[in-house]
Amino acid sequence: MKPVRIFALLLSVILLLSLFAGCADAPAGTSTTAARITEKSSSQPAGSSETVPADSSTVSQEATVRETEESTFDFEIPVRMQNGGDLRFLPEEPLTIPKLSEMEYIRPDADKLIADLEALTEKVPGCSDAEALLTDYYPIAVQISNFTTMCSLAYFHYSMDMNDSYFADEYDYCEEQGDIAEEKENALYAAFAASPCRDELEKAYFGEGFFLDYDNFNVGDESYLDLLKQENDLLAQYYALASTADYTNPQDIEKNHEASGQIFIELVKLRQKIAEAKGYENYMDYSYACSFKRDYTPAQAREYLACVKDFLAPLMKNPNIAGPYSYYSYWDESKSVDYLSAAAERMGGPIWEAFRFMSGHELYDVSYSRNKMGTGYTSYLGNYEAPFLFVDPSSKDLVITLFHEFGHFTDYYYNYGSIGDHETGETYSQAMQYLAFAYADPFSDDARASNLRATVSDLLVYAILQEGAYADFELQVYALAPEELTVEHLDAIFGQCMKDFGISGVSGVRFKSNYWSAYLHFFAYPGYVISYSDSAVTALQICRLEAENPGAGVDAFCRLLNRTHGKKFAAVLEEVGLDSPFEEATLEKTAAFLKDAFHMN
């Protein structure tokens, strides 16, 4: 059995397989242009700001269906697709949702899925009948739904008991087969993109603009798939090494530092070959465009990070931010779900509806077990059209993690599992940390104010600055020549990034110069961490709205839930009336809010 991928706590939304990820070849000569606490009484109910429709926080799931143009075909589009949700073709009658612990796992048939994807891809060029293509695609969509559902269940069971070798093997199977299925599905979408039926396919099913990410798609050949296999093999070496260590322990980090560092260096070199195979000169360009389909480039990310260093890093000169201001007031861990229930009910609307759905169907696990994986995540079960939430209470403060994950759960529930881009997805979770504390009972006003200020401290220190520094490190490392890739050089770069972002003096292993060799995201999800940083800036806007006008933050959260599907981060923010974190003025406003929160004015 190969070691199974274990995702870190910060990657709260576990995307078991990126089956819907595509990427276009890098366009030649592409130019890049950068786009850029106050205390609150618990007695204040959630209200509506004047700029928001009055019913924005009371919309029900049934009311989320948007107007769509009538199809030119005879069949009806399922409600969940009219709402922009995931690609599912399940019966329209209500689904029976068993308890999470009672859902049956059956190994998905990867061979059939891959064969069917290949067969339809071959058919597309010679077919001008969009309805016929969709008719052939529907069973494949169901297979994809089943594949991802079963992989989610395999990971859940393994998360519940890391000594369970059966589910460790099953999830490993899903991971390996998923790489192949992902490339085959991308090839199918590329064929659809090149088809004369493209517009009809988008109008009838996929949504406007869906195929833009597949224009000029470079289909990977066997040599490309071999590179992915080599990548998985290197990752398996890292997981095996990491399984012998506790990376909250500085001695364990140092013990594995050289070996893990060498594995990472080999991954960087290999990933450069992967990028070149897809037509990109640099892996970060490939990662941003292909793995995450972002609407901003690494060059724009560098400009954003420069602004973070200019406007937000200097705040860390105040020692209270990572000291007294970061301290949470006491809470009873055994009442964590009760706190969340009270907060969700007081916020109302889709937030309360999501909680009742989660609680009523027991779609969460926050129990303690010595064999449980030390992480927290939220995933989606397409077969049941239901998200589920997992938290290990021994790995981190249960209340904070539960609030964070419930932000993801609410998004998944309301939008049928269609999370959109990662930046928007992380905004929900990070904003919910603040909103839930703002509305939870039975905190006193003083305790509530302390917890809200500590949440703002966390978002600044551990999301915007820490993850921003990590993103800066990645961008620098993947720009190095092979001969410059040494453990000592990477130590120096990482240490300098901590200084540049003002966090080198913060206590904890995450800020030491050797921590890069222990951080799982650098190994398993290269390019992801920037999403934590820029989304936290957006989350702080929601915090500021709530602090200045109780209820306005909840309204902004609900507007974000009701986003138009298919739009990417910048367009979503514009649609819901939030400022882009890539605007310098936004960082200036964020700095002003933080200075007020930390009594620095």
Residue in the structure block whose two tokens are 């800036």: 537
584-597 vs 298-311: helix crossing angle, rounded to 10: 30
Contact 179, 220 (CB under 8 A): no
Spell out the residues 6+ positions from residue 394 whose beta carbon is closer than 8 angstroms to its own. 368, 372, 374
Q: What is the pLDDT of residue 592?
A: 96
Q: Which of 371-387 are b and which e, b meaning 16 or more Cβ less than 10 Å from the residue's Cβ?
A: ebbbbbbbbbbbbbbbb
Degrees to nearest 5, angle at CA 212 with 302 and 530 = 25
Measured in Å, how far apart are the chain's first and last C-alpha atoms? 58
Length of the chain: 601
Residue 378, φ and ψ in degrees, nearest 5? -130, 135
Q: How far is CA 529 from CA 292, 316, 426, 472, 475, in A?
A: 11, 20, 11, 9, 11
Residue 239: the pLDDT is: 85
Torsions phi, psi for 195 (to 5 deg): -80, 145
DSSP code per residue over 426-490: HHHHHHHHHHHHHH-SS--HHHHHHHHHHHHHHIIIIIIIHHHHHHHHHHHHTTS-GGG--HHHH
Cα separation, 427 vs 560, in Å, equals 9
User: Environment class of residue 489 by beta-carbon count within 10 Å: exposed (0-12), middle (13-18) or buried (19+)?
Assistant: middle
User: In this structure, is the dihedral angle defined by the CA atoms of residues 567, 570, 571 and 574, taken in order, positive or negative?
Assistant: positive
**What is residue 282's predicted lDDT score, i.e. its pLDDT?**
96
Residue for token pair 């009838």:
204
Backbone angles phi, psi at 391, to 5 degrees: -140, 135
Give the residue carrying structure tokens 């609407």: 295
Burial readout 135-171 (b: 16 or more C-beta within 10 A, e: otherwise) = eebeebbbbbbbbbbbbbbbbbbbbbbbebeebbbbb
Q: What's the pLDDT at 470?
A: 98
The neighbour count for residue 571, using CB atoms within 10 Å, is 15
What span, in angstroms and rounded, lies between the C-alpha atoms of 481 and 562? 45
What pLDDT is stored for residue 69 in this prediction?
37
Instruction: Provide the pLDDT for residue 95.
Output: 76
Pair type for strands 364-365 and 386-391: parallel
Q: How far apart are CA 72 and CA 66, in angstroms?
A: 18
Listed as ranges, residues in the chain with pLDDT below 50 are 1-89
Residue range 276-322, pLDDT digits in tens: 998 999 999 999 998 898 999 999 999 999 999 999 999 999 999 99
Asked if 479 and 280 count as a contact pair (C-beta separation under 8 A), the reply is no
pLDDT of residue 588: 96
